[in-house]
Structure formats: structure tokens, C-alpha cells
Amino acid sequence: MEPILCLKNVVLHQGDNFCLSIDNLELFPQRSYALTGANGSGKSTLLRVLALLQLPQQGIIQFNSKAKTITDKRQQITLVEQSPYLFKGTVYDNLAFGLKLRGIHTKEQQQRIQSALEMVELTALTQRKFDNLSGGEIQRIALARALALEPNIILLDEPTASIDGDSVQTFESLLTTLPSRGVTVVYSTHDRSQPQRIGSEVICIDHGQIVNGANARQNNTSENLKENTIWQRLTNVHEN
């Protein structure tokens, strides 16, 4: 099986004190991955690189997709931030926003929104105003908004860090179902027992480097890596 997303010799400097340095990371379709590590280890930065939102100064990123442009590729990967932002209006309005931007017609919008809310078990909140939602409901609505876009990969930054225990259990149960629905899931967590509950492969990051994990492979990537390269920035960083 070919990886759906691969990072090779990726280097990203941030400020004077932090560098994300990934020799080789392969993520495979329809699997669940947990990013672990201390605060400041690089989990959020790695998620933004995987989302194709932050470009490294050096390295190769391969996304196994037929999409031609970076914009089109980004639409197949959705990042849910730790404190997701909901727009003013109803839950329905929030889920419809991204679909409208992508030109999805009204009938299909309705079908996708209904399906996404069923997956997160919040169909009763369709007309609830955004400012009348609990922390757990906000996280599930944000995930539903991502699911409605039908991405190949969903990335979540500390999705259960600020929600109550009952909501955590509901959210974790939902995450366990996503690979079987065709979605690759990558989430960061400080809860050491969470990956086991969800059934995720663990990728541990320390000071911007992967220190363990089945997917931190040191062997060569596939020969067709460069054919699907999104960007390859191999120029040296010059100091003034």
C-alpha cells in the first residue's frame, strides 16, 4: 500500500530556537495516528505542515492525490484547530459555509450536513445558535464541519483538551469510526492512554524530531516520490 502523505527531509525553522526536522514520515490511508510530545515539541507545527498550510524551507512533501494545484490538494485535507472558530449564525450555517465556497449545490449541501451531523450525533442542534453551544458540542460541530467537506485526511489539534469527560468519550468513539469511513485521522494529544482507547498508531515528537513510531521510517521512499511532489524547496537558507 502506498502512503497517502509522505514527508521527506523536511526542515522548517521558526524563530531562533525551534526547528522541525522530519527525515521520513509516511501516513497510510484509512488509519489513525496520534501525535504525542511535550508542549513546544512541534505537534501543532507538524499538523500545519501536513495540512499544506505551512511550507518548509527544505524537503519534499508527497500527497497521493490526483489534484493538480496546491489549492485543490489543500481542499482534500482539513485541519481542526484546538479552539475551533465558529461563525455567527446557526450550526447549519457553519456547516454550509465551506460547502458554499466550494460551489456545492443546495441539495447536496443539505445531504452532506445531515450526514455529518448524524455522524457526530448532533442532528438536534441544526438550528442552534453558535453562541449557545458547550465546549464539547463546539468540538463535535467543528469535526462535523470538516466531515461535510469529505476530506481524505482530517487533522485535529488537541481535540479533547478542553472538554468534559462525557464529551471526551463520545468524541473518542467517533474518531474510532472514521478510518472505516475512508478517512485518515491524525490528532495531537497529551493524554497518554488516548491512542490506545482510539486504536491509533503513536508518533512521538521531541524538539521537532520524531523519536519513535512505526511511521517514522528511515528507509527510502517510493521511486515515484518526485512525480507527486507538491513542492521541493532545496535552496539553502542564507544568513544576512
pLDDT value for 129:
94
Say if CB 49 and CB 188 are below 8 A apart.
no
Judged against a pLDDT cut of 80, whether residue 232 lies above it is answered with no
Q: Which domains does the chain have, with CATH numbers?
A: 30-54+68-214 (3.40.50.300)
Judged against a pLDDT cut of 80, whether residue 225 lies above it is answered with no
DSSP string, the chain: ---SEEEEEEEEEETTTEEEEEEEEEE-TT-EEEEE--TTSSHHHHHHHHTT-S--SEEEEEE--S--SHHHHHTTEEEE-SS----SSBHHHHHHHHHHHTT--HHHHHHHHHHHHHHTT-GGGTT-BGGG--HHHHHHHHHHHHHHT--SEEEESSTTTTS-HHHHHHHHHHHHHTGGGT-EEEEE-S-TTHHHHHTPEEEEEETTEEEE-TT---S---TTGGGGEEEEE-PPPPP-
Quick: pLDDT tens for 82-116: 889 898 899 999 999 999 999 999 999 999 999 99
Q: What is the Cα gyration radius of the chain?
A: 18
* C-beta neighbour count of 34 within 10 angstroms: 24
What average pLDDT score do residues 141-157 get? Answer: 96
Pairing assessment for the beta strands 201-206 and 209-212 based on DSSP bridges? antiparallel
pLDDT value for 167:
84
Reading the block at residue 49, the C-alpha cell is: 505542515
Q: How far is CA 83 from CA 68, 88, 163, 193, in A?
A: 31, 16, 11, 22
Rounded distance between C-alpha atoms, residue 35 and residue 43, angstroms: 6
Judged against a pLDDT cut of 60, whether residue 228 lies above it is answered with no
Nearest to 61 by CA among 191, 233, 231, 202: 231
pLDDT tier, 233 (very low <50, low <70, confident <90, very high otherwise): very low
pLDDT value for 69:
87
pLDDT value for 218:
39
Quick: pLDDT tens for 47-74: 999 999 998 999 999 998 888 888 899 9
Reading the block at residue 160, the C-alpha cell is: 479533547
pLDDT value for 213:
61
What average pLDDT score do residues 148-177 get? Answer: 92
Tell me the whole-structure pTM to 2 decimals. Answer: 0.87
Judged against a pLDDT cut of 50, whether residue 238 lies above it is answered with no
Judged against a pLDDT cut of 90, whether residue 215 lies above it is answered with no
Residues 132-165 as b or e (16 or more Cβ within 10 Å = b): ebeebbbbbbbbbbbbbbbbbbbbbbbbbeebee
pLDDT value for 68:
81
